[in-house]
Structure 1
């Protein structure tokens, strides 16, 4: 079933698509435009033109530019969280073998580097949104960070034996460092390879974390 029927007197320029397919296409187009031009410099006309759809079709999926922007932010946040979830999974799967604790820290750092590699400048929609003065946008942007921090904090409670308050602070520091390094690499990385960035940031973070692993935790390298 397609969802691209225009109002009388209008005509879609692009091919007809199923509703879910069209929504994904519009999100991809909006992501690119918002990332390169900024929220305030992109209009719904621009998005419809790039997507080769009429404005009635665009508004059928997203009633306003803000609704579209928030959907883009939500999708980016979900992708980042899924990447981090995969990184922390080994700890929750069972006892760690020698060297695996450091590998998990590296995986979290790699998650952020991988995210900015794929998302490019669109990663700034989560890290440096130009619309965060709007409370709705700020809440959505901060939600992604909060979810990632929460997941890492849960792991830290298990590994370090610290209370949740301490774990939240440690997790926020880890996230901020990984995010900052990833953003710096995206903008100024130059000849520094991703592997080298992961190695440097992981060494910095693991040196601190290794000393916090609780004595009775079944881990041979702490």
Structure 2
């Protein structure tokens, strides 16, 4: 069995990595630890030990535990926004055939379900951070949600013909429903497949949205 310490008593170190690779490794490890243990129960020592690096190396990438946590939250937010961007892209690329609006709604719902499926409990860092009393963290978490809502509102405004204030409310409702369903499925899914959850939530959302599509919407197959 290999002794974790060398002759001088220092912790064994992992292999050398390029700066970008090391940063990515540290973010992955921090994501796992913060998600399973919570921000307040994880120390920089814990992260350094898991990564097999010295604390000075860790601090060269992230000056503090809060900086590391914020970087993790930012990455989670970017991943989710990218998934939503892919979902709404067909409506903006056009032309849009009748019935494709429901497909886009389903894609947004599926983006949330796929996000929690991959992220697991780490999705709570973006949805239910245990550090939201900190103004910096709350701002970053709210920024991620606001960016997704803004993006969906842009699309809804064009599709429904409603003013931006109305579109913002509709988008916020869609996001809250998709996020709530995704979080529920993660914790209480009981074997329910993603496809079925997407179908159910899409039916709920589309039945309301379909009645809001403006009568003169320029369908590509008209």
Aligned residue pairs: how many? 213
Note the 1:191-210 alignment, pairs <5 A.
Answer: 191-210=191-210
**Whole-angstrom CA distance in 2 between matches of 1:108 and 1:218:** 22
1:91 aligns with 2:83: no
1:104 aligns with 2:104: yes
Match of 1:34 in 2: 34
- SS for the counterpart of 1:47 is helix
- SS for the counterpart of 2:142 is helix
Stretch of structure 1 that moved more, 50-59 or 10-19: 10-19
Unaligned runs of 5+ in 1: 1-8
1:150 aligns with 2:155: no
**Whole-angstrom CA distance in 1 between matches of 2:160 and 2:220:** 14
**Whole-angstrom CA distance in 1 between matches of 2:184 and 2:220:** 34
**Whole-angstrom CA distance in 1 between matches of 2:170 and 2:95:** 21
Question: How much has 1:37 moved relative to structure 2?
Answer: 0.4
Question: How much has 1:99 moved relative to structure 2?
Answer: 2.1
**Whole-angstrom CA distance in 1 between matches of 2:169 and 2:71:** 29
Instruction: Report runs of 4+ in structure 1 exceeding 4 Å deviation.
Output: 9-12
Question: How much has 1:31 moved relative to structure 2?
Answer: 0.2
Question: How much has 1:211 moved relative to structure 2?
Answer: 0.1
| CA-to-aligned-CA distance 1:35-79 (integer Å, 9 cap, x gap) | 000000000000001111111100111010000000000000000
Match of 1:18 in 2: 18
**Whole-angstrom CA distance in 2 between matches of 1:75 and 1:112:** 15
**Whole-angstrom CA distance in 2 between matches of 1:220 and 1:171:** 24
Question: How much has 1:218 moved relative to structure 2?
Answer: 2.0
1:49 aligns with 2:49: yes
- Contact kept? 2:94, 2:220, Cα under 8 Å: no
Q: CA RMSD in A?
A: 1.4
Match of 2:133 in 1: 133
- Contact kept? 1:153, 1:168, Cα under 8 Å: yes
- TM normalised by structure 1 equals 0.93
| CA-to-aligned-CA distance 1:159-193 (integer Å, 9 cap, x gap) | 00000000000000000000000000000001211
- Contact kept? 2:95, 2:220, Cα under 8 Å: no
- Contact kept? 1:10, 1:54, Cα under 8 Å: no
